[in-house]
Each structure stands twice: as C-alpha cells, then as structure tokens.
Amino acid sequence: MTELEIIGVGFSNYVRSVLMLCNEKSVAYKLNPARPHSPEVSAIHPWGQVPCMRHGEVVLFESQAIATYIDKTFPGPKFIPDDAVGAAQVVQWVSFGNVKVDRWIMREYVVPSVFFDSANGPDTAKINAAVPEIDKCLAVLDAAVAKTGFLVGLSMTFADMNVLPMLTSLAQMPDGNGLLERYTKLNAYIAKLSARPGFPNPPPPTRG
C-alpha cells in the first residue's frame, strides 16, 4: 500500500489539523518533520509553507487541499460533507479561520509572543493591537458553536479541526484564558474537541 506522507513540523496549527483528520479517519501516515522553507518543503510549496503531502504520485500543498484529498480518498467517517450546503459551509468556516482567526491569534499574537529576539523582547505593541481583533473572532466563533456545539451541522467537520489548534494555542498563552473566559460556549467546544483521542496536542509553546 502506498504510504501517505505529511510533511511539516508538528507544532504548526495547520499540520495539526491535517494530522487530526488522519487520526479521526484512522488513516495511517508518516510525519516528516521538515521545517518551513527547508529544501523538502520548498520543493513542493512555492512559498515554503507547511503542511505538504505526498501519496504515491500525488503531491499537494495547502492544508485545505490536503484535507479534501484525504477525506475523499480514504475510507472512514467523512469530515467534509458530500451535500452542497454542508460542503460550502465547511469551506466558509475554513476560509474564515485561515483569513481571520489564524492571522490574529497565530500570526499577530502567538508567534510574536513566542518567537522573538531575546535582546529586544516580544513586540508588545503588535501583540496588544491584536487583542481587539482576537475578541471579534472569538465572539463570532462562540455564536457559531452555541447552536449545535460544532461549526457545521451536528457533528465535527474539518472546519472544527482547522480552527481548533489555533484556539488551543491561544489557551496555552499566559493571557490566553483571560481572552477566552467570557466565551462559555466556545470554551466548552475547545474542551470537548481537544479531549478527543485524535487531537494532536504538542507541548505548550515557550517564550524566547
């Protein structure tokens, strides 16, 4: 049987989303822990970003494309609905997660809080400027999951898997729980889904 290879570091929120999909579908895979912009990654992704994927002659980059391929290729439960409305709603929430939630939580808050020049310290102005935008994202997600406990329909989809690592990364930050505490439905959602056996939960990021 052709081996499925996921390429990318395990602490990447997008790598974790793809690994969760594989775990939930019981799809065997090999994780190649190549870093962004490494020769292996740059040979596949034009901007050197992770995750990338190889499966026989199929080579893909971008997590949504990889997730779509895995969900349609392998047996097991479906996490991208076949019906037009459900599929569109998953794309809608994945897009929102990628454009808004990833930007404000990961790129503008978590990353500058964890990865910084030790001589200068974190960019507190950038981090503080992200907080109002994070609050807007959390309010939207809290309202969305309040209906059924999931972003789409009555069960977990890839839309949930896509945003969950971003939210757990926020919760692991020193001030993250303070940002999340007002959103009770979202907190329950994070606790429920991150407790699933399929959720890949690396050690909390460390500053410096």
pLDDT in tens, 115-140: 777 777 788 999 999 999 999 999 99
pLDDT grade for 205, boundaries at 50, 70 and 90 = very low
Instruction: State yes or no: pLDDT of 26 exceeds 90.
Output: yes
Q: Give the CATH number, domain containing residue 67.
A: 3.40.30.10
**pLDDT value of residue 185:** 98
Residue 38 is classified by DSSP as: S
Q: Is residue 16 part of a domain?
A: yes
DSSP conformation letters of 95-154: HHIIIIIIIIIIIIIIHHHHS--TTT---HHHHHHHHHHHHHHHHHHHHHHTTTSSSSTT
For the chain, the domain total comes to: 2
**pLDDT value of residue 150:** 98
Per-residue pLDDT of 71-100, as tens digits, reads: 999 999 999 999 999 999 999 999 999 999
How far apart, in whole angstroms, are the C-alpha atoms of residue 141 and residue 93?
9
Bridge partners of residue 5, in order along the sequence: 30, 54
Q: Is residue 203 part of a domain?
A: no
The domain in which residue 22 lies consists of 4-73
Which of these, 112, 101, 105, 129, lies nearest to 207 by C-alpha position? 112
DSSP conformation letters of 62-92: SHHHHHHHHHHHS-S--SS-SSHHHHHHHHH
Provide the mean pLDDT of the chain: 94
Amino acid (one-letter) located at 58: V
Instruction: State yes or no: pLDDT of 206 exceeds 50.
Output: no
Q: Are 97 and 160 contained in the same domain?
A: yes
Q: Are 132 and 64 contained in the same domain?
A: no
Which tokens is 80 given? 């991208």
How far apart, in whole angstroms, are the C-alpha atoms of residue 188 and residue 25?
23
Q: Are 63 and 95 contained in the same domain?
A: no
Q: What's the mean pLDDT in 176-200?
A: 96
Apex 110 CA angle, 198 and 199, nearest 5: 0
Q: Are 92 and 176 contained in the same domain?
A: yes
Which tokens is 140 given? 């939207």
Instruction: State yes or no: pLDDT of 180 exceeds 50.
Output: yes
**pLDDT value of residue 208:** 38
**Whole-structure pTM value:** 0.94
How far apart, in whole angstroms, are the C-alpha atoms of residue 116 and residue 60?
31
